[in-house]
Amino acid sequence: MIGWGDVYNVVVAVVPLYVALLLGYASVKWWRIFRTAEQCDAVTRFVSYFTLPLFTFEFTVHVDPYQMNYKFAAADAVSKAIIIALVAVWARSSSKGSFSWSITSFSLSTLTNGLVVGVPLIKAMYGPRAVDLVVQASVIQAVVWLTLLLFVLELRQTRNNFSSGGGGAAAGENGGEDLEGNRKAVVENSDRAAPSFWRASMKAVWSKLAMNPNTYGCFGGIIWAFISKRWHFEMPILMEGSILILSKAGTGTAMFSMGLFMALQEKVVACGAGVTAIGMALKFIAGPAAMAVASFAVGLRGDILRVAIIQAALPQSITSFIFAVEYGLHANVLSTAVILGMIVSLPVLVGYYAILEFVQ
């Protein structure tokens, strides 16, 4: 049962994040240390290319991949598949559906802040063994789902660049023909261009992923974990110290960057009440519901089932916001989800905890 001491531990974990956010906000809004959007973007790129990759690598190397609960991992994968399927159906059937909003909806429904908020809260609810499951989910998220997010963001950016750079040539070359001839030529050019577009897109996406340090942080960390746990050796102190000096700043600098972003907006809740409500529903209802269905489907029961559902209802991943800023996709929505999510997550998660006590 959660007591006041447990609530205090969660507050102790969360409040420093808001201190970092407030310092970032004040640096632009009140102190004018950062005066332009370009200066703020430079801070975000520092976070995206240095502190977050090292933070991801540092916590990933300490997991034991040979002791993972694979049924728990299967439930996590099935829940993500459910969300992807629902988002795809919505994007195709709704007039408001789009590839961009599909990416953001997936992020809101599935990507969580397990290490900062989840670890102290789950430990208070279900003990130290449950913490291992939260860390496992965080590692899988970093290695699989954040990498997938990077992939689709790169694909979207490549597609947008292709669209903005092409299309004019065909119209110019057919300028002297009649309208029907133009239409026929454009269709034929599109058919021929489709395979080359996908080849060019995949090449661009994979090359950018290969140059993105977040990719190396994820996969380098899990590869090291497999090797070190297999042959039982520790990371050299010199190497670990070099990583820790920046990785410890990962979460703090990410929140500082969010404060900078907020200060550049006209409103703190930058995306409006309607979108905010949808975002909160995706985060605290759709995600846990998909996880509940997936958990029952793979046969999770008892405390493992409860931990799976509660960790799916944790507040929004800070990394997803950094990626949203870096790729220019609904950063206002993600910043609102992170900020409000951390505020409302404690009562929501305690409510889930109380309800799940009746689930066997």
Reported as a single tens digit per residue, the pLDDT across 95-104 is: 888 999 999 9
Asked if residue 305 has pLDDT above 80, the reply is yes
Asked if residue 179 has pLDDT above 90, the reply is no
Q: Are 298 and 292 in contact (CB under 8 A)?
A: no
Phi, psi values for residue 316, rounded to 5°: -65, 145
pLDDT tens-digit profile of 251-289?
Answer: 889 889 888 988 888 776 767 789 999 999 999 999 999
- What confidence score (pLDDT) does residue 207 get? 83
Q: Nearest 5°: CA angle at 67, between 122 and 83?
A: 60
Asked if residue 164 has pLDDT above 80, the reply is no
Asked if residue 178 has pLDDT above 60, the reply is no
Distance of alpha carbon 81 from the chain centroid: 16
Least confident of 112-121, 169-178, 341-350: 169-178
| 208 token code pair | 């950018």
pLDDT, mean of residues 51-65: 89
Model confidence at 121, pLDDT cuts 50, 70, 90, reads confident
Residue 51 DSSP label = I
- What confidence score (pLDDT) does residue 194 get? 63
Higher pLDDT: 187 or 211? It is 211
- What confidence score (pLDDT) does residue 189 get? 55
Residue 232 DSSP label = T
Higher pLDDT: 277 or 345? It is 277
User: Which of 144, 142, 119, 120 lies closest to 55 in space, CA to CA?
Assistant: 142
CA–CA separation, 216 and 201 (whole Å): 21
What is the overall mean pLDDT for the chain? 85
Q: Which residue has the tokens 């750079």?
A: 165
- What confidence score (pLDDT) does residue 186 get? 46
Q: Are 215 and 52 in contact (CB under 8 A)?
A: no
CA–CA separation, 187 and 209 (whole Å): 32
Model confidence at 173, pLDDT cuts 50, 70, 90, reads very low
Model confidence at 190, pLDDT cuts 50, 70, 90, reads low
- What confidence score (pLDDT) does residue 188 get? 52
- What confidence score (pLDDT) does residue 165 get? 65
Torsion of CA 55, 145, 344, 37, to 10 degrees: 60
- What confidence score (pLDDT) does residue 226 get? 93
* Start-to-end CA span in the chain (Å): 17
User: Which of 288, 256, 272, 259 lies closest to 353 in space, CA to CA?
Assistant: 288
- What confidence score (pLDDT) does residue 291 get? 97
- What confidence score (pLDDT) does residue 115 get? 79
Model confidence at 322, pLDDT cuts 50, 70, 90, reads confident
Tell me the domain boundaries of the chain.
Answer: 53-160+270-356
pLDDT tens-digit profile of 227-250?
Answer: 999 999 899 999 999 999 999 898
**Please, what is the angle between helix 287-298 and helix 70-93, to 10°?**
130
Least confident of 3-7, 13-17, 215-219, 344-348: 3-7
CA–CA separation, 84 and 193 (whole Å): 28
